[in-house]
Amino acid sequence: MKAFRMLAVTAAILSATTFAAAQSTQRGFSVVLLLGETQATGGGDGLPPAPALRKALNDVKDFLPYKSYRVLDTQWLRSGSTRMKGPDDQEYDIDLVADEMPVIPGLNEKTGMLNVFFKLREIGAAENSSEEFGRSIQAAELEKQRASMQAQMPAAQGAMVQEMKARLDRIEKQIRLARARKLIDSKFNMAIGETVVVGTSKIGGGDKGLVVLLTSVAGGK
């Protein structure tokens, strides 16, 4: 019985080692979320220090209004979904699906090309137009409740003040959820090892924006 347990433990270790090795050879993606600002901050050229990111931004600089960039979050993703943190503790959901494109003479003659579907959205964003319509009605009603409560705040006294502030905070969160937006929904091709600017989305009144860069990293040998 003891020998059997030893064999079982050994088999489990070998299985885990094989799985870890297989995982290490899988292809993946580095997702970088930047905050772009129209006003330059500090010295230098306002670009991130990483060479691949600098090159990708330089390639599209004529199409972007931003003069400086700040890294908000980075994630490693093989495929599927993850969550990234933006400014003011705002969080965003990322969905990524990528398939290697087959080599087809006359259509796609390059090897190592990927067909990528990428989505960035605020948490709780509606899935379709009918849901968006329902959310807009809900948000309008919540905004009326907020305005009514704000009008009553000056007359509040004692414990009622804290209670109304807590209710206002809950309403604000409900409004943010109801107003959650799809920010980027993109389909594109990229080469393994390439870094691309996936897309941008304005925030903060238009003087700031989210910029997403994606790097496809080849698996190990």
State the Cα torsion 29-34-36-42 to the nearest 10°: -120
What is the dihedral sign for C-alpha 39, 41, 44, 47? negative
Domain of residue 62, residue span? 28-125+182-217
**Residue 17 counted as domain residue:** no
Tell the residue number behind the tokens 């209004």, with chain if given: 65
> pLDDT band for position 44 (50/70/90)?
low
* Pair (191, 147) in one structural domain: no
Tell the residue number behind the tokens 């503790």, with chain if given: 89
**Residue 1 counted as domain residue:** no
Using one digit for the tens of pLDDT, what is the confidence trace for 146-172?
A: 999 899 889 888 888 899 999 999 998
Angle at 194 between CA 113 and CA 187, to 5 degrees: 60
* Pair (144, 81) in one structural domain: no
**Residue 10 counted as domain residue:** no
* Pair (170, 186) in one structural domain: no
pTM assigned to the model: 0.69
At 94, list the tokens: 């990322």
Query: How many domains would you assign to the chain?
Result: 2
Three state DSSP letters for 119-169: EEEECCCCCCHHHHHHHHHHHHHHHHHHHHHHHHHHHCCCHHHHHHHHHHH
Q: Are 69 and 57 in contact (CB under 8 A)?
A: yes
* Pair (143, 160) in one structural domain: yes
* Pair (58, 107) in one structural domain: yes
Using one digit for the tens of pLDDT, what is the confidence trace for 107-135?
A: 777 888 899 999 999 888 877 777 778 88
**Residue 38 counted as domain residue:** yes
- Output the pLDDT for position 45: 64
Residue 200 to residue 38: CA distance in whole angstroms: 13
At 89, list the tokens: 């503790």
* Pair (202, 147) in one structural domain: no
Contacts of 75 (CB under 8 A, 6+ apart): 30, 31, 82, 84, 94
**Residue 23 counted as domain residue:** no
Using one digit for the tens of pLDDT, what is the confidence trace for 199-218?
A: 999 887 778 999 999 999 88
Which DSSP helix (H) or strand (E) runs through 185?
A: strand 182-191
Helix segments in 153-202, DSSP class H: 159-178
Residue 107 to residue 95: CA distance in whole angstroms: 27
Closest CA to 185 of 90, 122, 117, 91: 117
